[in-house]
Structure 1
Amino acid sequence: MKKILFTATILLVSNVMIAQSEVTQEELREHIEFLSSDKNAGRFPGTKANKRVVKYIIKSFKKAGIEAYGKSYKQEFQAKIRVKKGEAPKPEATTWNVIGYIEGNDPVLKDEFIVLGAHYDHLGMGGPSSKSDHEGIHNGADDNASGTAALLEIGERIAANKHLLKRSVLLLAFGAEEQGLLGSKYFTENPVVPLSQVKLMVNMDMVGRLNNENHVYMGGAGTFPGGVELMKNLGEPLGLTVFAHPGSIGGSDHVSFYKKDISVMGIHTGGHPQYHTTEDTVDLINFPGQEKVCNYIYSALMKVATTDYKMEFIRQD
Structure 2
Amino acid sequence: MTCVFSVTHAQAVPQAQTDSVRVLNDIKWLADDRNEGRAAGSEGEQNTAAFISSAFKKLGLQPKGDKGTFQQKFSFNKGVHGEGKPAESNNIIAFLDNKAVNTIIVGAHYDHLGNDGQGSSLDANPENKIHNGADDNASGVAGVLELARHYSTNKTRENNNFLFICFSGEELGLLGSKYFTEHPAVELEKVNYMINMDMVGRLDRSTRNVFVTGTGTSPVWQPLLQHLSSPELIIKMDSSGTGPSDHTSFYLKDIPVLHFFTGSHSDYHKPSDDWEKINASGEAKVLDLIIRLNSVLDSEPKLAFLKTRTKSSAGRASFKVTLGIMPSYAGNENGLKVDGVSDGRPGQKAGIQSGDIIIEMGTLKISDIEDYMKALGQFDKGQTIPVKVRRSNEVVTLSVTF
> Could you say which TM-score interval applies, normalised by the shorter chain?
0.7 to 0.9
Q: Output one character per residue of 1:196-218: Cα deviation in whole Å (capped at 9) or x when no partner.
A: 11120110000000012110001
The verdict on how the C-alpha distance between 1:234 and 1:83 changes in structure 2, with shifts beyond 3 A counting, is: closer
1:137 corresponds to: 130
Counterpart check, 1:120 vs 2:113: no
Partner secondary structure for residue 37 of structure 2? coil
Counterpart check, 1:163 vs 2:156: yes
1:291 corresponds to: 284
Counterpart check, 1:243 vs 2:236: yes
Q: Output one character per residue of 1:286-316: Cα deviation in whole Å (capped at 9) or x when no partner.
A: 1111111111112222333x21244111111
Aligned match for 2:267, one of 253, 260, 274? 274
Give structure 1 stretches of 5+ with no counterpart: 1-20
Q: Output one character per residue of 1:58-104: Cα deviation in whole Å (capped at 9) or x when no partner.
A: 111122232223722111101222248xxx93212211001111112
Relative contact order, higher structure (CA 8 A, sep 6+): 1
Identity %: 38
User: Where do 1:156-305 residues align within 5 Å?
Assistant: 156-161=149-154, 163-211=156-204, 212-236=206-230, 239-247=232-240, 249-304=242-297
Partner secondary structure for residue 282 of structure 2? helix
Aligned match for 1:103, one of 97, 100, 103? 97
Partner secondary structure for residue 184 of structure 2? coil
Counterpart check, 1:93 vs 2:87: yes
Counterpart check, 1:308 vs 2:303: no
Q: Output one character per residue of 1:189-243: Cα deviation in whole Å (capped at 9) or x when no partner.
A: 111112111120110000000012110001111211221111222232x721001
Q: Structure 2 counterpart of 1:157, which letter?
A: H
2:351 corresponds to: none
State the TM-score, normalizing by the size of structure 2: 0.69
The verdict on how the C-alpha distance between 1:98 and 1:281 changes in structure 2, with shifts beyond 3 A counting, is: same
1:80 corresponds to: 77
CA distance in 2: counterparts of 1:181 and 1:242, whole angstroms: 25
Partner secondary structure for residue 186 of structure 1? helix
CA distance in 2: counterparts of 1:38 and 1:227, whole angstroms: 39
Aligned match for 2:38, one of 43, 66, 83? 43
Partner secondary structure for residue 122 of structure 1? coil
CA distance in 1: counterparts of 2:35 and 2:307, whole angstroms: 39
Verify the 8 A CA contact 1:45 1:79 in the aligned structure 2: no
Verify the 8 A CA contact 1:114 1:199 in the aligned structure 2: yes
Q: Output one character per residue of 1:143-196: Cα deviation in whole Å (capped at 9) or x when no partner.
A: 000000011011100111263311111001001100100000000011111211
Q: Name the Cα RMSD after superposition.
A: 1.8
Alpha-carbon offset, residue 22 of structure 1: 5.1
CA distance in 2: counterparts of 1:65 and 1:116, whole angstroms: 17
**Greater C-alpha Rg:** 2
Verify the 8 A CA contact 1:66 1:156 in the aligned structure 2: no
Give structure 2 stretches of 5+ with no counterpart: 1-15, 310-402
Alpha-carbon offset, residue 55 of structure 1: 0.8
State the TM-score, normalizing by the size of structure 1: 0.86
1:61 corresponds to: 56
CA distance in 2: counterparts of 1:248 and 1:189, whole angstroms: 18
Counterpart check, 1:26 vs 2:21: yes
CA distance in 2: counterparts of 1:80 and 1:230, whole angstroms: 41
Alpha-carbon offset, residue 23 of structure 1: 2.3
Alpha-carbon offset, residue 127 of structure 1: 2.1
Verify the 8 A CA contact 1:104 1:165 in the aligned structure 2: yes
Tell me which moved more, 221-230 or 206-215.
221-230
Partner secondary structure for residue 224 of structure 1? coil
CA distance in 2: counterparts of 1:233 and 1:263, whole angstroms: 19
